[in-house]
A and B are shown apart, each in its own frame.
Chain A
Amino acid sequence: MAVKYGMLVDETRCTGCRGCQVACKQWNDLPGEVTRNRGSYTNPPALSAKTWNLIRYVETETNGKAGFYFLKHACMHCEKPSCASVCPVGALYKTPEGPVVYDDTKCIGCRYCMVACPFEIPTFDWHKGLLDQALIRKCNMCVDRVSNGLIPACAKTCPAKAITFGERDKLIAQAEAQIRKSPDKYVNRVYGKDEVGGTSILYLSAIPFDQLGLPKLGTTPVTALSEQVMEYTLPFAGAWGATLAGLALFFRLRNRGAEHAAKEKEKSS
């Protein structure tokens, strides 16, 4: 079995320097975005086809104390990715090493992946026409670096060592050890360990994760139900098709019988 990688993001170490945001753009050749002042440090305002990794600045209150926190916002590389589950042509898929990657030669642009991702990650090239070839864009855990023995650009660049790249299992153990060592510093939970069936990206935080901007999710993949329905579809189709054929035959015989009876009656009267 291949080694399963992941990244542990310790948000208590993050200084909000945006180095990873820029490193991601550099490595993936993503252009800058023209933005305007919206009264928030988060800039650009959201992930986009040009920004796959975004530092979100969170001003919030915990236990009556105002605080300033950061969230490195990018694809979670789910263990059971819903984006991949719902893609009709299988353009998105989970590699055994961890990254959830995209085959841009298959995608038909239905954008169901964007609709289904519980973290609202995939973005689309809204301003590309037929000639420019619009695509779905998102973080790919620098799969081109990782498969060549390098670590992702964001992890490589982080001066505060907030992003650790490594084996997912070991990262979980490490994160839990860190929590045990400084229980006052962290919320007592590793986000991503179990969320939607587990994710390759894991978070440690000083404040509750939903306050940080990570969604509250259960431990089953959001696509569990739809996959189950899809499993029943073929047997259902077979049974329903046979039932319809049977009904057609039944009504045909009955109507013929009725016609026959009517004729007999006519004759006898």
Chain B
Amino acid sequence: MTILNRLRISPGVLILFALMALGALIAVARYLFGIGAISNLNDAYPWGMWISFDLLCGVALAAGAFTTATAVYIVGLERFRPILRPAILTGFLGYLMVIVALMVDLGRPERIWHLIIHWNPHSVMFEVGWCVMLYTTVLALEFSPMVFERFGWKLPLKIIHRITIVLVILGTLLSTLHQSSLGSLFLATPGKVNPLWFSALLPLYFFLTAVAVGPAMVIVESHISARVLKRGLETDLLGDLAKAIPPVLGVYLVLKVIDLTVSGKWAFAFRDGMSVLFWIEIIGFVILPMVLFMRSKVRQNAQSSFGAGLLVVGGVVLNRLNVSLIGWNRSSDALYFPHWMEFAITLSIIAAGVVAYGLVAKYLPLFSPHHVASPAE
């Protein structure tokens, strides 16, 4: 403990670094001996936790960046500006984390650049790949003023300010395409996605839930960062932001009900384990947070808005897992449950994201847009 104290490293930080080191070691094993050596992925389950959680959930949970940027720059809701930078940072780190996960999950990570030179415009994955590349670039540019301000680089700052509106429009466009295309990925697997989740509207569902989880994620993350970094919480502002959630979830819910009715699939909702998961998802993670966020008492209370935000986040995670993994139908009797090393890779990437967030919060002007953070502040 004394050494830790002297180095001023808290046990929490130590755990984060231990996780990162473990992840790095496992990644080395993966590059030496193959994906099979560190995972339970197999020919019947070619996609597992990394795609379902790290990619699908990771991208959805990064949606706070584009929803907030849209609110501030396109709709001109200037009052949300104080939470813009943390939202952009979360989005940017989220996409970087997705890319790191892909570098482990892809069979030939050293060829990821093939996406640029070999095109197949029929493939949804082609769109996904391009969206990841382009939107990460946009996020990097949206993030860059924090670096430029820190070092007092006036010219690049000026240039970025000039093009910000273009970047934001581009970012919203790319996010729309990307969030929805992750749903479109599963349009190609009609027999394999559980009927309760399979629908021609999957792209729209993925987009709507991403729009709902964007503000929810900002709320959740503000609470955590306020507590950990011991800064004030913008309760009013977050309360206003939360107003956007119920209508979006409402539209999603209505569409889902109409969709299941029109396609005559309600029988599947009263059948098996997946039916139970369906109701848990709809009642516990869509209707409940929707009703909660409709009440101003909940929106204005730190604890309860944090809780309701977590429900929306949990709902998106459960939804992505249900679509891509838990409800997955294969003819073979092969089973899949993630190997502990798959969990370790995922956890290590999250740890790296947390550390990066902490470093940016410490060294870059994250919470005070127009000053360089000084120790006195």
Q: Smallest distance from the beta carbon of A196 to chain B beta carbons, Å?
A: 10
Which of A46, A126, A133, A241 has a CB less than 8 Å from the CB of B173? A241
Say whether A244 contacts B331, CB under 8 Å.
no
Q: Are B74 and A129 in contact (CB under 8 A)?
A: no
Tell me, yes or no, whether A180 is within 8 Å of chain B by CB: no
Cβ-defined partner of B31 (8 Å) among A48, A118, A130, A135: A130
Within 8 A of B (CB), among A130-160: 130-136
A169 contacts B by Cβ under 8 Å: no
Which secondary structure dominates chain B's binding surface?
Answer: helix
What count of chain A residues pass the 8 Å CB interface test?
Answer: 59
Inter-subunit contact B35/A134 (CB<8 Å) = yes
Q: A90-B120, A222-B189 are known contacts. Are A251 and B74 too (CB-CB below 8 A)?
A: yes
With a cutoff of 8 Å between Cβ atoms, the chain A residues found around residue B42 in the complex are 126
Q: How far is the CB of B90 from chain A (nearest CB, A)?
A: 22
Q: Tell me which residues across on chain B come within 8 A of A34, comparing CB atoms.
A: none
| In the complex, residue of chain A having the shortest beta-carbon distance to the beta carbon of B108 | A109
Contact with A along B97-131 (1 / 0, CB 8 A): 00000000011111110110011111111111100
Minimum CB distance partner of B78 in chain A: A255
- Which single member of B32, B127, B181, B331 contacts A213 (CB below 8 Å)? B331
Q: Which of B125, B192, B330 contacts A112 (CB 8 A)?
A: B125
Q: Does B33 lie at the interface of the complex (its beta carbon under 8 Å from any beta carbon of A)?
A: yes
Docked Cα-Cα span, A161 to B82, in Å, equals: 75
Inter-chain contacts of B36 with A (CB < 8 A): 126-127
A2, CB-defined interface residue at 8 Å: no
Tell me the smallest distance from the CB of B115 to a CB of chain A, in Å.
6
Residue of B nearest to A118 (CB): B191
- In the complex, the answer to whether A132 meets B74 with C-beta atoms within 8 Å is no
Let me know if A230 and B76 touch, CB within 8 A.
Answer: no
Q: For residue B202, give the distance in angstroms from its CB to the closest CB of chain A.
A: 9
Q: Is B263 an interface residue (CB 8 A)?
A: no
- Whether, in the assembled complex, A124 has its beta carbon less than 8 Å from a beta carbon of chain B, the answer is yes
Confirm or deny: B188 has a beta carbon within 8 angstroms of a beta carbon on chain A.
yes
Give the chain B neighbours of A115 by CB distance below 8 A: 46-47, 188-189, 192
Also in contact, A46 and B44, with CB within 8 A (given A88-B123, A108-B108, A116-B189): yes
Contacting chain B: which of A17-25, A60-68, A79-87, A186-194? A79-87
Which of B35, B41, B200 has most A Cβ within 10 Å? B35
User: Per-position contact with B for A39-53: 1 when CB-CB < 8 Å, else 0?
Assistant: 000000011100000
Cβ–Cβ contact A126 & B34, under 8 A: yes
Check A82 against B188 for contact (C-beta < 8 Å).
yes
Judge if A223 is at the interface, Cβ distance under 8 Å: yes
State whether the Cβ of A4 lies closer than 8 Å to any Cβ in chain B. no
Task: Please name the residue on chain A nearest to B192 by beta carbon.
Answer: A115
Asked, given contacts A88-B115, A215-B191, whether A108 binds B185 with beta carbons under 8 Å apart, the answer is: no
B169 at the A interface (CB under 8 A):
yes
Query: Cβ of A90: which chain B residues have Cβ within 8 Å of it?
Result: 118-120, 123
A20 CA to B98 CA in the complex, in Å? 43
Min CB–CB distance B114 → chain A (angstroms): 5
For B37, the closest partner residue in chain A by CB is A127
Are A230 and B127 in contact, with the CB atoms below 8 A? yes
Q: Indicate whether A248 sits within 8 Å of B165 (C-beta atoms), given known contacts A110-B107, A118-B191.
A: yes
Residue of A nearest to B111 (CB): A108
CB of B203 within 8 A of CB of A114, answer no
Task: For chain B, residues 159 to 217, give those with C-beta under 8 angstroms from any C-beta of chain A.
Answer: 165, 168-170, 172-173, 176-177, 181, 184-185, 187-192, 200, 203
- 1/0 per residue, CB under 8 A from B, across A98-123: the answer is 00000000111111101110101001
Any A CB within 8 A of the CB of B2: no
CA of A223 to CA of B188 in the docked complex: distance in angstroms? Answer: 5
Shortest CB-to-CB span from A148 to chain B, Å, is: 27
A47 in contact with B118 (CB, 8 Å) = no
The answer to whether B191 touches A226 (Cβ under 8 A) is: no
Whether B43 is near chain A, meaning CB under 8 Å from some CB there, is yes
Question: Within residues 72 to 93 of chain B, which ones have a CB less than 8 A from any CB in chain A?
Answer: 73-76
- Given A124-B46, A124-B107, A127-B34, 11 other A-B residues pairs in contact with their CB atoms under 8 A: A46-B334, A48-B43, A90-B119, A107-B111, A108-B115, A109-B108, A112-B123, A132-B34, A225-B188, A233-B127, A244-B172
Could you tell me which B residues sit within 8 Å of A by CB distance? 30-37, 41-44, 46-47, 73-76, 106-112, 114-115, 118-129, 165, 168-170, 172-173, 176-177, 181, 184-185, 187-192, 200, 203, 330-332, 334
7 residue pairs from A and B, CB less than 8 Å apart: A107-B108, A115-B46, A115-B192, A127-B34, A127-B36, A130-B32, A226-B187
